[in-house]
Amino acid sequence: MLLAIDTSAGTSVAVLNTNVLAMATFDDPFGHAENVGIAIAEAMTKAGVTASEITAVAIGRGPAPYTGLRVGMAAGLAFAQARGIPTYGVMVLDAVAHSMSTPKLLLHADAKRKEVFVAGYESGVRTFGPAVMQPEELESFAGYEKVQAVCDASMVGLFTLDQLAKGADLNDLSALYLRSPDVSPSPGKRVSG
Amino acid sequence: MDFRGLTVDDLSSVMELESSVFVSDAWSSESMRSEIESPNNFYLGLFEDGLIGYAGLSTIPGSFSSDIQTIAVSSAARGRGIGRALMQELLRKAKAQGSEQVLLEVRIDNEVAISLYASLGFERIDVRKRYYQPDNVDAVIMRLRITQPLVLGIESTCDETGVGIVRGNRLLANALHSSMDEHSKYGGVVPEVAARAHLEAIAPTLNKALAEAGVQMKDIDAIAVANGPGLAGALMVGIGAAKGLALANDKPIYAVNHLIGHVGADVLERGYVQLPTIALLVSGGHTSLLLVRDLLGDAVLLGETIDDAAGEAFDKVARVLGLPYPGGPQIDKLAATGDPKAIRFPRGLSLPKDMEKHRYDFSFSGLKTAVARYVEKAEADGETINPADVAASFREAVVDVLLTKALNACAEFGVDRLLLGGGVVANARLREVAQQRCEAAGIELRIPRFSLCTDNGAMIASLGAQLVMSGHAPSSLGFGAESTLEVTVVQSP
């Protein structure tokens, strides 16, 4: 039984065996810290499972706005650690692409600060990204169907099951920020003169 | 029927009942007075048209053990479960105080009482021969063991990822990961850098704490997490992790106040925190002066910084002097050879006019600017400064204003205790002057060990444990990060 957690957009949690048994979603683009616990509890209740029946956790690693992303990742990592079960990390645009069947697909998602997170796929295989760029730069991808990606936990869960079945490595659990913290060393400023 | 704590004002009605119940071996009025007055004791009365029963509990602070001193029920009120009700209230109190056992002695011929105690879980552990005089009757010593809750606490309000584990008021683990080094090139804590570091550190720090305490996650009875005040993005990592842990093992979760956690840290040092106390919490993020009468229900913010935190001022002045981050230890080292009276830097918000509006508030921004001006002017005039004197004089100004206001608060509120907390407590001069001034003023100074003064998970676990022991309901699953959480909110609902 897989518990999938994604806070790349709103807050969503799904419980899956081979299919999605239940999902709890809060669309609020903020409120991840408030909602993540309720969503986990609700998804398990709807699926009729207890925490002890969960055998693995999948988390969305982004790219996504950082503050919310970390909440779901922290919750998933802690849940898995507390139960002594494996955690799998999923690049969320891959999960969205997996849910679609577009031959040439360019997924983009809001990266804040007037930028977008982008990944390109051909026949389901990622050929570009994930990267962060200006929205105008999307124009240069001719022939791709451009879709705004909104990930949720069912996509993360289904992609995880698919990848595990194929023997893929989902062990990277680091957050995909794609940008350095927005800060630079300051020399300090004079107060007089 | 009405329970209420007894005071010496109740002495005459207590003595009336005492001499009617314990005819031959009643306590004297003087003994009873000192019993009721002792700060270590809790005497509870039950009233119904006057006093119909009372009982007393004694807990020597730091002993983790309580004693039932006495229990009496008027003969007219017996057979109604009053003795049991009084005992249950005392046991509740003992548990809330962190006691791990409760002891009592009872006349061996008092079978009714012995069976009451046995039904409450007390076990017979010893007999004292001819304990009750003049009747020459043996005493049975009985003991109730209390298993206090095992609580895991998470701290992520600023740049320290802390996971602590306590059992009741005992410290079992205090694991910490600091991202301080990552902030050094920026000269101060960068919220996004701190939040990223928390996410990376949380799992390893959890493991470290569990290993240190020698317990497993499934053994944990409750999870506590600091949900404010602090940096929102940093807090949310801790909150996410805490909720994940709680749900994984279906455990209650307590969202607690970081600043009250600092005050409660002394519990882990000696098993209890003596109250009321004035608490001065000084770090890179806070400079707060609190009056705490009850850790879980009565804390008042007397004042706080209106601009920079004291620790921040140390960092900024260090930079002016060309010293690396964090500035506190650097300035402390440099100041050791300097003259604290060489330069008279301003004491913020200490003028008579400030005493009305900002009596207990602090301001360090002007002080930092004054130091910078001093250094820049010397440079412009082509003079060389003595950095040790600047450091010592700056440090003296900070320490002076912190302690002047803290001791004023002690005097004004009639509280003869001062507790220090926060990372700036590492400052040697602050500790030294605090000791001198407190000694001169007859004030008891408490400074927990440094690892409990800086931000840490153990103090969060401890505050959570106190809420559990006192029977507070857990927080709901829907709480969030509260960057500006007020000290009056010990636990978020």
Tokens of B277: 């106390």
Q: Among B185, B241, B481, whose Cβ lies nearest the Cβ of A77?
A: B241
> Taking CB atoms and an 8 Å limit, are B376 and A191 in contact across chains?
yes
Average pLDDT over residues A145-170: 97
Write the DSSP string, B26-84.
Answer: PPPHHHHHHHHH-TTEEEEEEESSSEEEEEEEEE-TTSSEEEEEEEEE-GGGTTSSHHH
The span from the CA of B220 to the CA of B210, in Å, is 10
- Identify the helix (H) or strand (E) that includes residue B340: none
B270 pLDDT band, cuts 50/70/90, is confident
Chain B: nearest CA to A101, how far in angstroms? Answer: 34
- Average pLDDT score over chain B: 95
Q: Are residues B235 and B248 in the same domain?
A: yes
Chain A: nearest CA to B386, how far in angstroms? Answer: 19
Average pLDDT over residues B243-272: 95
Tokens of B149: 């809750």
Q: Are residues B438 and B334 in the same domain?
A: yes
What is the per-residue pLDDT across A82-122, written as a single tens digit (0 to 9) for each?
Answer: 999 999 999 999 999 999 999 999 999 999 999 999 999 99
What is the per-residue pLDDT across B123-154, written as a single tens digit (0 to 9) for each?
Answer: 999 999 999 888 899 999 999 999 999 999 99
CB atoms < 10 A from the CB of A174, how many? 12
Backbone angles phi, psi at B155, to 5 degrees: -120, 125
Spatial strand order of the sheet with A145-148 comes to A125-133, A116-122, A104-110, A145-148
CB atoms < 10 A from the CB of B75, how many? 11
pLDDT for res B489? 96
What is the per-residue pLDDT across A66-76, written as a single tens digit (0 to 9) for each?
Answer: 999 999 999 99
Closest to B64 (Cα-Cα) out of B182, B3, B146: B146
List the CATH number of the domain containing B88: 3.40.630.30
What is the per-residue pLDDT across B284-314, written as a single tens digit (0 to 9) for each?
Answer: 889 999 999 999 999 999 999 999 999 999 9
Average pLDDT over residues A164-177: 97
> Taking CB atoms and an 8 Å limit, are B198 and A79 in contact across chains?
no
Instruction: Check residues B274 and B408 and name the one with the higher pLDDT.
Output: B408
Q: Are residues B272 and B261 in the same domain?
A: no
Looking at the predicted structure, is the pLDDT value of residue A193 above 60? Answer: no
Q: Are residues B88 and B41 in the same domain?
A: yes
| Three-class secondary structure of residue A21 per DSSP | strand
The span from the CA of A71 to the CA of A80, in Å, is 14
Looking at the predicted structure, is the pLDDT value of residue A192 above 70? Answer: no
Contacts of B112 (CB under 8 A, 6+ apart): none
Closest to B468 (Cα-Cα) out of B209, B211, B166: B166
- Identify the helix (H) or strand (E) that includes residue B299: strand B298-304
What is the per-residue pLDDT across A114-143, written as a single tens digit (0 to 9) for each?
Answer: 999 999 999 999 999 999 999 999 999 999
Looking at the predicted structure, is the pLDDT value of residue B247 above 90? Answer: yes
pLDDT for res B119? 97
Spatial strand order of the sheet with B170-178 comes to B170-178, B160-167, B150-155, B222-228, B253-257, B491-492
- The answer to whether residues A190 and B373 touch, using CB atoms and an 8 Å cutoff, is no
Q: Are residues B278 and B232 in the same domain?
A: no
pLDDT for res B243? 98
pLDDT for res B371? 96
Q: Are residues B167 and B247 in the same domain?
A: yes
The span from the CA of A120 to the CA of A91, in Å, is 13
Please tell me chain A's helix, strand, coil percentages from 3-state DSSP, rounded to the nearest 5.
35, 30, 40
B361 pLDDT band, cuts 50/70/90, is very high
pLDDT for res A187? 62
The span from the CA of A41 to the CA of B301, in Å, is 36
Q: Are residues B486 and B413 in the same domain?
A: no
Q: Are residues B397 and B437 in the same domain?
A: yes
Chain A: nearest CA to B273, how far in angstroms? Answer: 31
What is the per-residue pLDDT across B186-231, written as a single tens digit (0 to 9) for each?
Answer: 888 999 999 999 999 999 999 999 999 999 999 999 999 999 999 9
As a CATH number, domain A2-165 is 3.30.420.40
The span from the CA of A121 to the CA of B56, in Å, is 75
Q: Are residues B249 and B273 in the same domain?
A: no
Q: Among B192, B237, B246, whose Cβ lies nearest the Cβ of A181?
A: B192
Adjacent-strand bridge partners of B142 = B104, B124
Average pLDDT over residues B372-378: 94
Listed by number, the residues of chain A in 44-73 with a beta carbon closer than 8 Å to a beta carbon of chain B are 44, 50-51, 54, 66-67, 70-73
- Domain, as residue range, for B122: 2-145
Q: Which residue has the tokens 């949720």?
A: A152
Greatest alpha-carbon span in chain B:
92
* Domain count within chain B: 3
pTM for this structure?
Answer: 0.94
> Taking CB atoms and an 8 Å limit, are A78 and B244 in contact across chains?
yes
B25 pLDDT band, cuts 50/70/90, is confident
In angstroms and rounded to an integer, the radius of gyration of the C-alpha atoms of chain A is: 18
pLDDT for res B442? 97
Q: Are residues B202 and B277 in the same domain?
A: no
Backbone angles phi, psi at A74, to 5 degrees: -65, -40
* CA–CA distances in Å: residue B81 to residues A50, B84, B99, B421: 41, 5, 25, 46
* CA–CA distances in Å: residue B258 to residues A123, A176, B406, B458, B474: 51, 30, 20, 11, 17
The span from the CA of B148 to the CA of B467, in Å, is 12
DSSP alpha helix (H) spans, B64-221: 82-96, 111-119, 180-184, 191-213
Chain A residues touching residue B184 (CB < 8 angstroms): none
> Taking CB atoms and an 8 Å limit, are A34 and B207 in contact across chains?
no
Percent of chain B surpassing pLDDT 70: 100
The span from the CA of B422 to the CA of B272, in Å, is 19
Q: Are residues B110 and B39 in the same domain?
A: yes
Looking at the predicted structure, is the pLDDT value of residue B23 above 90? Answer: no
List the CATH number of the domain containing B290: 3.30.420.40
- Identify the helix (H) or strand (E) that includes residue A93: helix A92-98
What is the per-residue pLDDT across B43-102, written as a single tens digit (0 to 9) for each?
Answer: 999 999 899 999 999 999 899 999 999 999 999 998 899 999 999 999 999 999 999 999
Spatial strand order of the sheet with B101-107 comes to B2-5, B41-47, B51-59, B65-73, B101-107, B137-145, B123-132
Taken as a whole, chain A contains a residue count of: 193
What is the per-residue pLDDT across A12-62, written as a single tens digit (0 to 9) for each?
Answer: 999 999 999 999 999 998 999 999 999 999 999 999 999 999 999 999 999
A173 pLDDT band, cuts 50/70/90, is very high
Q: Among A33, A41, A82, whose Cβ lies nearest the Cβ of B217?
A: A82
Q: Are residues B430 and B412 in the same domain?
A: yes
pLDDT for res B181? 86
Interface check A89 vs B, CB under 8 A = no
B1 pLDDT band, cuts 50/70/90, is confident
> Taking CB atoms and an 8 Å limit, are B477 and A185 in contact across chains?
no
